Structure 1
Amino acid sequence: MGRRRGTMSEGFKNELAKELGFYDTVQKQGWGGIRSKDAGNMVKRAVEMAEQRMAEENRNRH
């Protein structure tokens, strides 16, 4: 089974890793070095940001 291409840009992932406090691990060990919990928190934060952006767009339409 082949790897799926990621949907988050590398820059966005780096930004989230910095915000969540594990960017140093990414720099030293790559993305494979982060904990599952950190990856989950990263996805959770990305979803929160997307929801906030959608809510703002909906407010601006009305």
Structure 2
Amino acid sequence: MGRRRGLMSEHFKEELAKELGFYDKVKQNGWGEITANEAGSMVKRAVQIAEESMARDKT
């Protein structure tokens, strides 16, 4: 079974990691080294960005 394709682009994930302050860890050790809390923070922020975008599109 192949790997499932991610929903977020690599660039978007990197930008989120930079914004949330753990990009250096990702850059040095890869995505496998982030904590569950950090991953959750990324998802939460991505949802916030999507909601903001949808709200702007409605106006």
What TM-score do you get using the length of structure 2 for normalisation? 0.94
Identity percentage of aligned residues: 64
Gaps (5+ residues) in structure 1? Answer: none
In terms of Rg, which structure is larger?
1
Q: Aligned partners of 1:20, 1:2: CA distance in 2, in Å?
A: 30
State how many pairs are aligned: 59
Please report how far the alpha carbon of residue 2 of structure 1 lies from its aligned counterpart in structure 2 after TM superposition.
4.4
Two-structure CA RMSD over aligned residues (Å): 0.9
Gaps (5+ residues) in structure 2? Answer: none
What TM-score do you get using the length of structure 1 for normalisation? 0.90
Deviation >3 Å, runs of 4+: none
